[in-house]
Amino acid sequence: MEETIQSSAAYSPEELSEFHSIIKRKLEKVKINLDYFSSLTNSEESGTHDTSRSFKGITEEARELSTKDSNLDRLIETRKMIVLLENSLIRVKQKTYGICFVTGKKIPKQRLIAVPEATTSIEGQRILEQREGK
């Protein structure tokens, strides 16, 4: 099966080069977001020096915790995206990029342009969801 994927389903070197550029651009943007969310998370006070309720109302404290949690969630998701994009670059280098790991078929070019970190085609994603009972 692997032989078939390499010869008939793989994208051409020119297409892989195009995908490489798309992935690199997205990776640069995501890294900017990482810097931004890191600065938000690191610049926020820990809240330990002024914990008395006489200084802050419970609602205000809850809002601050919610904002901190939200920023931390964004930071975690951004880091995950960086890993996905870096893995995509590895697959480009290995000439396996754009091959659905479920079906073994090419992922449509438009999907890869829209979601360059994709590892499954829509068909492959549906198969996975059916297996999971969704």
pTM of the shown model: 0.73
Residue 2 has pLDDT above 50, yes or no: no
pLDDT digits (tens, 9 = 90+) for 41-94: 675 544 444 555 555 677 776 666 667 778 888 899 999 999 999 999 999 999
Domain map (residue ranges) of the chain = 2-132
Q: Name the CATH superfamily housing domain 2-132.
A: DksA, coiled-coil domain (1.20.120.910)
3-state helix/strand/coil string of the chain: CHHHHHHHHCCCHHHHHHHHHHHHHHHHHHHHHHHHHHHHHHHCCCCCCCCCCCCCCHHHHHHHHHHHHHHHHHHHHHHHHHHHHHHHHHHHHCCCCCECCCCCCECCHHHHHHCCCCCCCHHHHHHHHHHHCC
Q: What's the chain's average pLDDT?
A: 84
